[in-house]
Amino acid sequence: MIRAHSVEQVRAAEAALMARLPEGTLMQRAAAGLAGAVAELLGSTYGRRVLLLVGSGDNGGDALYAGARLVRRGAHVEAWVLGTHAHEAGARALREAGGVFVDGPRRRPEVVLDAIVGIGGRPGLRDEARAALALLHGIPLVAVDTPSGVDVDTGEASEPHVEADLTVTFGAHKVCHLVDPVAAAAGAVHLVDIGLELPDAAVEALQPADVAARLPRPAGESQKYARGVVGVRAGSAEYPGAALLSVSGASSGLAGMVRYVGEDEVATTVRAQHPEVVGAGRVQAWVVGSGGGERAGDELAAALEDGVPVLADADALKHVHEGQELAVLTPHAGELAAMLDEERADVEARPLHFARLAARRYDCVVLLKGRRTLVARPDGAVRVNTTGTPWLATAGAGDVLGGLIGSLLAAGLPAYDAASVGAWLHGAAATEASSGGPLVAGQVGPAVPGVVRRLLAAH
């Protein structure tokens, strides 16, 4: 599990550790890790040109000490101070190693280290920093701990901020490393272990072993009903494809049976392509809404009458209201904006805030789709999905996701696990089906069994 801790949690852990260690130990650990990551990025250090953009805080000190290490390995290191002053001991270490301080790069550097603002900084950048970054545009940039100018605890970036190719962070992942829009600006994230002891985190991301541990696995005495029956109420004469795609996600083999309930013409089409799918009967979970059109409200009401977990997507979301006993909602930003009476742009700028708000308001798990899909629980816990490919931004992909999550609900997973495991599998299956190129939604469901097979074999 990747756990993303708050600034307060990191500060407390650092203070506790520093009280037991000689002064400066943590900064030296961070600097060693940073220098190593930069050397790995460059491929070599001798003769390479490195520019440090240094602010006034300890973040700047990390970079200065790392710069001194790189100088000793043969690099040409310049430091450009953009704060009111530089970390005194770090600056002395850089000068003694042979690094130089400049008011602008003397030669075009091969890599730039962003140490302008640390985790305690406010969002946004001063004019001097913005001008320096504009001058250095196009040069590979390594953010020290977090990209400068962002909101570390929310992942929000309403002001100008650094966009890094690599972020080297110390002790723990921060929320902004996982949550968009800042996660996209952090680039690849490299964690340097400096020995912090940290509490549980409210934001986390499943890794393959976590997914494998949560997957439903049939026992030797299992039969189809015991493995779970998922019902799908989706599609319409106008949008029959939504039914097919929802069923394809549900028919990934993770539940024992799939039932489809819908218009006769659509049901005939579904069964022609999925002969294992049967009609109405008892289910352990319902998936409702994709392509349902005007019928979606009635289908949602019918599903809720069964007293089993219900996932509402797409057209069904228009009929969701507070007080209903729903398990999972799966909106995209536009749908969530409508549900909360907000602007879509605001939801896209503050996805963590609004996913949590919706989960509290509707008292259920809310999966907010996006490049980094968020799965929020009413108590504020959030899982960020890190699998997927940009090619997954294709019509119908959400229909497949809903069916897949529904199958996990039917198999007995709690709503939070079903939504986060389903999102992980959906992204991984899309990546496999894509093979680096375009794909359509219909390719995602059939790729799920292969992903599951390899997960189970590896874990």
Annotated binding site for K(+): 59, 114, 148
Residues 6+ apart with CB under 8 A from 317: 289, 329, 331, 335, 338, 339
Residues 6+ apart with CB under 8 A from 195: 17, 26, 29, 171
**SS3 at position 89:** helix
Cβ burial, residue 275 (10 Å; 0-12/13-18/19+): exposed
Location of structure tokens 């008292």: 363
CA angle 183, 188, 193 (to 5 degrees): 100
Q: Which residues are annotated as a binding site for AMP?
A: 369-373, 398
Kind plus residue range of the DSSP H or E element containing 230: strand 229-233
Q: Which residues are annotated as a binding site for (6S)-NADPHX?
A: 58-62, 118-124, 145, 242, 291, 332, 399
Phi/psi at 204 (nearest 5 deg)?
Answer: -150, 170
CB 430 within 8 A of CB 186: no
Q: How far apart are CA 410 and CA 381, in angstroms?
A: 23
CB 391 within 8 A of CB 443: no
Q: How far apart are CA 440 and CA 41, in angstroms?
A: 35
- Closest by CA to 150, choosing from 352, 410, 358, is 352
**SS3 at position 103:** coil
Q: Report which DSSP code applies to 102.
A: E
- Closest by CA to 72, choosing from 50, 40, 94, is 94
Strands 166-170 and 188-192, bridge-based pairing: parallel
CB 246 within 8 A of CB 402: yes
Q: Which residues are annotated as a binding site?
A: 58-62, 114, 118-124, 145, 148, 242, 291, 332, 369-373, 398-399
CB 164 within 8 A of CB 186: yes
CB 34 within 8 A of CB 192: yes
